[in-house]
Amino acid sequence: MILKLLAIGDTYGEPGRKAVEQHVTRMKRSGEVDFVLCNAENAAGGAGVTESVARELFSVGCDVLTGGDHFFDKRREVEDYLKKETRLVRPSNFPKGLPGSGSCVVECKGVRIGVVHVAGQVFMRYHFSSPLLALDEEIAKVRKDGASVVLVDFHAEATSEKWASSWYVDGRVSAIVGTHTHVQTADERVTAKGTACLTDLGMTGPYDSVIGAEKEGILNRFLTQIGGKKEVATGDVRLCGAIVTVDGLTGKALSIERVQRKLEV
Ligand SMILES: [Fe+2]
Ligand SMILES: [Fe+2]
């Protein structure tokens, strides 16, 4: 069984959710993709994810949602939901004791797909524990749960850390894709061992902005060094990510293709 997996980069506010709704609906209906992983760390007003926003993204065809360092920005609005919805995944290497899980397994066309989510340590605002050790743990967990295909969302700032991590899991996962920077990279590749890699999927949201937020407020922050209001921008909305084609039996990636589509209004 050949499967097409769409991984969507950081979905930013309502504009980003609209792009997900439009394109995921179309791509699933046409058979262009079978499974959708969506990073939702900025989906609720640019910071965090809530139960209602997660439900909305699932209802338009997302199969698994991942978070990032912003995952708990609206903690009270997501905490209870986390206890009942295992397809909403947060970075595994947050401090022990926080609610939620760093991986899940879902079935798609008879294939068990494991999603693993970790955050990096370089230039990140929180001190996450080792993402490499977390990858070992979570990969073992989803394999034990019968996953033949494994997809990793590595949420990190530094390209070097993401590249290094892709070699660490080479041949052990179907794909490792990066999130967090909101800027898509052009280094997609499938390794000799069958792992598809892309350093960053890019942002799904408004591009007439500074990585999703209104330009004026952010420029003022840089000019004055004083934190002002951060508003979700609205113009030039796009969905960004990648489509990975995998063999469901062996879990090997066959190809990876970057995706960038405008929201049609
Ligand atoms: Fe983000
Ligand atoms: Fe992030």
The full set of domain ranges for the chain reads: 2-262
Do the beta carbons of residue 149 and residue 3 sit within 8 Å? yes
pLDDT category of residue 197 using cuts at 50, 70 and 90:
very high
pLDDT category of residue 161 using cuts at 50, 70 and 90:
very high
Ligand 1 centre from 42 Cα, in Å?
5
The pLDDT score that the predictor gives to residue 154 is 98
Please give the Cα distance from 241 to 222 (Å, whole number): 29
The pLDDT score that the predictor gives to residue 214 is 96
Question: Is 76 exposed, middle or buried (CB count within 10 Å of its CB: 0-12, 13-18, 19+)?
Answer: exposed
The pLDDT score that the predictor gives to residue 163 is 98
Question: Is 222 exposed, middle or buried (CB count within 10 Å of its CB: 0-12, 13-18, 19+)?
Answer: exposed
Please give the Cα distance from 158 to 120 (Å, whole number): 8
The pLDDT score that the predictor gives to residue 257 is 98
Q: What angle do CA 223, 226, 229 make, to 5 degrees?
A: 100
pLDDT category of residue 29 using cuts at 50, 70 and 90:
very high
Ligand 1 centre from 10 Cα, in Å?
5
The pLDDT score that the predictor gives to residue 80 is 95
pTM above 0.95, yes or no: yes
Ligand 2 centre from 155 Cα, in Å?
6
Do the beta carbons of residue 257 and residue 237 sit within 8 Å? no
Query: Looking at residues 111-132, what average pLDDT do you find?
Result: 96
pLDDT category of residue 94 using cuts at 50, 70 and 90:
very high
Query: Looking at residues 214-224, what average pLDDT do you find?
Result: 94
Distance of CA 216 to the CA centre of its chain: 27
Q: What would be the CATH architecture of the domain defined by 2-262? A: 4-Layer Sandwich (3.60)
The pLDDT score that the predictor gives to residue 75 is 96
pLDDT category of residue 66 using cuts at 50, 70 and 90:
very high
Query: Looking at residues 65-86, what average pLDDT do you find?
Result: 96
Please give the Cα distance from 55 to 44 (Å, whole number): 12
The pLDDT score that the predictor gives to residue 228 is 76
Ligand 1 centre from 144 Cα, in Å?
30
Q: Would you call 155 a catalytic residue per the annotation?
A: no
149-155 vs 111-119, strand pairing mode: parallel
Per-residue tokens: 14 = 């309502």
Query: How confident is the prediction for the chain on average, in pLDDT?
Result: 97
Do the beta carbons of residue 103 and residue 117 sit within 8 Å? yes
Lowest average pLDDT, out of 66-70, 153-157, 229-233, 243-247, goes to: 229-233
Which bound ligand lies closest to the C-alpha atom of 183? 1
Neighbouring CB atoms inside 10 A of 81's CB total: 17
Query: Looking at residues 158-164, what average pLDDT do you find?
Result: 98
The pLDDT score that the predictor gives to residue 255 is 98
Please give the Cα distance from 248 to 145 (Å, whole number): 15
Query: Looking at residues 144-149, what average pLDDT do you find?
Result: 98
Q: What dihedral do alpha carbons 209, 64, 5, 108 form, nearest 10°? A: -160
